[in-house]
Amino acid sequence: MMAWIYWAKLYESKFQARCLAARLREDWWINGYDGPAEVEVFRSRKGRYGVKYMW
């Protein structure tokens, strides 16, 4: 069973969270690792944005 892993930081803007999500999708192959299966941006109850990914 796979579970979501949440990035530790929340961001004020969706743009910042999407930049981190793009980096999570793209940077793994540079170091020779397998990347996450899914990466998503979510909105918290307080209106801030975060990133979660599934391995």
Q: At 4, is the secondary structure helix, strand, or coil?
A: strand
Count the Cβ atoms, other than its own, within 10 Å of residue 28.
Answer: 13
Q: What is the pTM of this model?
A: 0.83
Residues of the chain with pLDDT under 50: none
Q: Is the dihedral of CA 13, 39, 8, 32 positive or negative?
A: negative
